[in-house]
A and B are shown apart, each in its own frame.
Chain A
Amino acid sequence: MQKSVMSRLWVFAVWAVIGLFLVNLMGLIASVVTSSVATRWLGTWLPAGFTTRWYFAAWDEFQLDDVLWVTFQAVGAVVVLSGLLGVPAAYALARREFPAKRAVMLLLLLPLLVPPITYGIPLATVLYKAGLGGTLTGVILANLVPTVPFVVLVMIPFIEQIDPRTEAAARVFGANIFQMFVHVLVPMLMPGVLAALLLVLVRTIGMFELTFLVSGPGSQTLVVALYYAVFASGVRAVQSIDAMAVLYMATTLVWLIIALRFVNPTQIVGRGKRSVT
């Protein structure tokens, strides 16, 4: 099986594109990291010296303790609520055939197909009218809109592959639906639930648009605070913004690495794809 010159060139070109992409991506990330520990960095390859003081500066200037606490509360609440609402719904959709099932599926698919900005603006309007705009509750509610359907759509195939006879057996041995859920289903579903919720976690930390539209001064998550910092750059030292960016990156990466132990990378983007096809 000899390869022609053309096919060798083609393979080379494909790898060159991958390489170019990754080099620029890594360069970009490295720029931010380098800048965050730079004393002074003007017109040279590398900064004049290194320091960690920007991290302390960023922590104070941007009230990162508050921001991180808000982020933690918002993300935690979204993860727990998505699980509590999404998993039972996924169970019903995976196991029962009922008249309005197709309509329910479509309803769940919509928030994933419409970009957040499009529905975020009317949603923010409604939340502000209800007095929830700018509050932590508002941020949590807004973030549930894409995450609950996401959990449902990830969990449906997972539940479908569990043999229904296991549940039937539990029922035969006298467990009611609730007991069956707690003692039989939840342990079997745990790996899937864990994967789905980790993905929700990573996505919620990075969810900019909805949080941006709904949050107020006291309810900004890290990514929104970062946006405002970059937007108003010039007011603060660039390095402290970068320090904040690195902190944001670190939070996301930690969870991403944990998530990748349980899920295939394609799952992070493969939201609802199965149901569309």
Chain B
Amino acid sequence: MTVGRTTFKQLHLQGVRREFDAFTALKGLDLTIERGEFIALLGPSGCGKTTALNCIAGLLPVSGGRIMLDDRRVDTLRPEERGFGMVFQNYALFPHMTVRRNIGFGLRMRGVPKPELDKRVDAALAAVRLESQAEKLPGQLSGGQQQRVAIARAIVVEPPLVLMDEPLSNLDAKLRLEMRQEIRRIHQSLGSTTVYVTHDQEEALSLADRIVVLRDGAIRQVGTPAELYALPAHLDVADFMGFRNRVDGQLVGMEGEDALLDIEGTVIRGRMRAAMPGKAAVAAIRPDDLGPTDDGQGIPVRVEAVEYRGRGFHGVGVTASGTELHFASPRPLERGATIRLGADADRVLVFGDAR
């Protein structure tokens, strides 16, 4: 009764909608996922990323649209008929089964004969390096080990698609880094297709082949990590990619590639993303790209706070109108001093006013 097919070319989401009573969690999602890809669904909580994942898994029925595996429609199938593997945020390990039985569960449900089942479970245990823990109950394992069992349980059935719902959010920072590498390694060694939900842009950037940024139930941008990091198409996406400084200004003109933005009387240069000349616009700059200038150019600010950050200093300055700017400085600064802050033109993104 399961799909039973472990290969496919493309997974298509076609206008997938999901409504909860009056609330629309997904506003018609269109996305094509290629076989073997690692896709991250990135967004803040409530953006619909987990809803999207649950719709793909079949745990939530879609309110509209279709999900196609090549030319086969799968959104009408029950979760147990889709044959996808899923890793849950709280692991959802069966507490009454040993690690071995947990991992073998999917194979048993598929009626795999015992000798083959044992062989495949052993291989999965080896893949997540848990051979010595096979006879323990999940409650006796550490968080990282539980997570590895959850991953092994999902991949042992060799599913066409592996779905992961914030699998690292319950782990501490060090373990998170380790598991990130582990997930990447497993994905590459198995060549499986993975859809990975996260709200952590670092996780998405380091793991994914392509990132899908979701906001309010709609896709904001789809692209490779490098594309999204360098040139976010939307202010929300920039927000997620670490453009912490957002400064309001007026777009006063263009000069070649550069957009000229008037910020409190100072004109700075930036890359035009989506703005109209003569209109209000917002400049988005990463703190690391903003620093004190020596040539008398830049936005004047009063230094409010300076913190030592190892490689350099992190400062907070306030402009004449009260906007806070975060910046990096190679040298310590006096609190209360007035300095000018500037950034390279290709590090400043100019967006139309979001409001």
Interfacial residues, chain A to chain B (CB-CB below 8 A)? 1-2
A-B pairs with beta carbons under 8 Å apart, 5 shown: A1-B58, A1-B61, A1-B76, A1-B78, A2-B76
Closest 4 pairs between A and B when the two form their complex, measured CB to CB: A1-B61, A1-B78, A1-B76, A2-B76
Interface of A is mostly: loop
Across chains A and B, the number of contacting residue pairs, with CB separation under 8 Å, is 5
Q: Which residues of A contact B76 (CB under 8 A)?
A: 1-2
Distance in angstroms between the alpha carbons of A22 and B102 in the assembled complex: 41
Distance in angstroms between the alpha carbons of A1 and B67 in the assembled complex: 13
Interfacial residues, chain B to chain A (CB-CB below 8 A)? 58, 61, 76, 78
Q: Which residues of B contact A2 (CB under 8 A)?
A: 76
Q: Which residues of A contact B58 (CB under 8 A)?
A: 1
Q: Which residues of B contact A1 (CB under 8 A)?
A: 58, 61, 76, 78
Distance in angstroms between the alpha carbons of A1 and B77 in the assembled complex: 6
Q: Which residue of A lies closest to B60 (CB)?
A: A1
Q: Which residue of B lies closest to A2 (CB)?
A: B76
Measured between C-beta atoms, what is the minimum distance from B3 to chain A in Å?
Answer: 16
Distance in angstroms between the alpha carbons of A1 and B78 in the assembled complex: 6
Q: Which residue of A lies closest to B62 (CB)?
A: A1
Q: Which residue of A lies closest to B58 (CB)?
A: A1
Q: Which residues of A contact B61 (CB under 8 A)?
A: 1
Measured between C-beta atoms, what is the minimum distance from A236 to chain B in Å?
Answer: 55
Distance in angstroms between the alpha carbons of A1 and B58 in the assembled complex: 9
Distance in angstroms between the alpha carbons of A2 and B75 in the assembled complex: 11
Measured between C-beta atoms, what is the minimum distance from A8 to chain B in Å?
Answer: 15
Q: Which residue of A lies closest to B78 (CB)?
A: A1
Distance in angstroms between the alpha carbons of A221 and B58 in the assembled complex: 57
Measured between C-beta atoms, what is the minimum distance from B187 to chain A in Å?
Answer: 29
Measured between C-beta atoms, what is the minimum distance from B65 to chain A in Å?
Answer: 15
Distance in angstroms between the alpha carbons of A1 and B79 in the assembled complex: 9
Distance in angstroms between the alpha carbons of A2 and B61 in the assembled complex: 10
Measured between C-beta atoms, what is the minimum distance from B294 to chain A in Å?
Answer: 51
Distance in angstroms between the alpha carbons of A1 and B63 in the assembled complex: 11
Measured between C-beta atoms, what is the minimum distance from A7 to chain B in Å?
Answer: 11
Measured between C-beta atoms, what is the minimum distance from A194 to chain B in Å?
Answer: 33
Distance in angstroms between the alpha carbons of A1 and B80 in the assembled complex: 11
Q: Which residue of A lies closest to B75 (CB)?
A: A1
Q: Which residue of B lies closest to A1 (CB)?
A: B61
Measured between C-beta atoms, what is the minimum distance from B104 to chain A in Å?
Answer: 27
Distance in angstroms between the alpha carbons of A69 and B78 in the assembled complex: 62
Distance in angstroms between the alpha carbons of A42 and B302 in the assembled complex: 95
Measured between C-beta atoms, what is the minimum distance from A149 to chain B in Å?
Answer: 30
Distance in angstroms between the alpha carbons of A2 and B58 in the assembled complex: 12
Measured between C-beta atoms, what is the minimum distance from A276 to chain B in Å?
Answer: 19
Measured between C-beta atoms, what is the minimum distance from A202 to chain B in Å?
Answer: 35
Measured between C-beta atoms, what is the minimum distance from B328 to chain A in Å?
Answer: 38
Distance in angstroms between the alpha carbons of A1 and B61 in the assembled complex: 7
Distance in angstroms between the alpha carbons of A1 and B57 in the assembled complex: 12
Measured between C-beta atoms, what is the minimum distance from B204 to chain A in Å?
Answer: 30
Distance in angstroms between the alpha carbons of A1 and B81 in the assembled complex: 11
Distance in angstroms between the alpha carbons of A2 and B76 in the assembled complex: 8
Q: Which residues of A contact B78 (CB under 8 A)?
A: 1
Measured between C-beta atoms, what is the minimum distance from A5 to chain B in Å?
Answer: 16
Distance in angstroms between the alpha carbons of A1 and B59 in the assembled complex: 10
Q: Which residue of A lies closest to B77 (CB)?
A: A1
Distance in angstroms between the alpha carbons of A2 and B81 in the assembled complex: 12
Distance in angstroms between the alpha carbons of A67 and B76 in the assembled complex: 65
Measured between C-beta atoms, what is the minimum distance from A270 to chain B in Å?
Answer: 22
Measured between C-beta atoms, what is the minimum distance from A257 to chain B in Å?
Answer: 29
Distance in angstroms between the alpha carbons of A99 and B58 in the assembled complex: 52
Distance in angstroms between the alpha carbons of A1 and B62 in the assembled complex: 9
Measured between C-beta atoms, what is the minimum distance from A11 to chain B in Å?
Answer: 16
Measured between C-beta atoms, what is the minimum distance from B81 to chain A in Å?
Answer: 10
Measured between C-beta atoms, what is the minimum distance from A58 to chain B in Å?
Answer: 50
Measured between C-beta atoms, what is the minimum distance from B95 to chain A in Å?
Answer: 14
Q: Which residue of B lies closest to A3 (CB)?
A: B78
Distance in angstroms between the alpha carbons of A128 and B58 in the assembled complex: 67
Measured between C-beta atoms, what is the minimum distance from A66 to chain B in Å?
Answer: 55
Measured between C-beta atoms, what is the minimum distance from B342 to chain A in Å?
Answer: 48
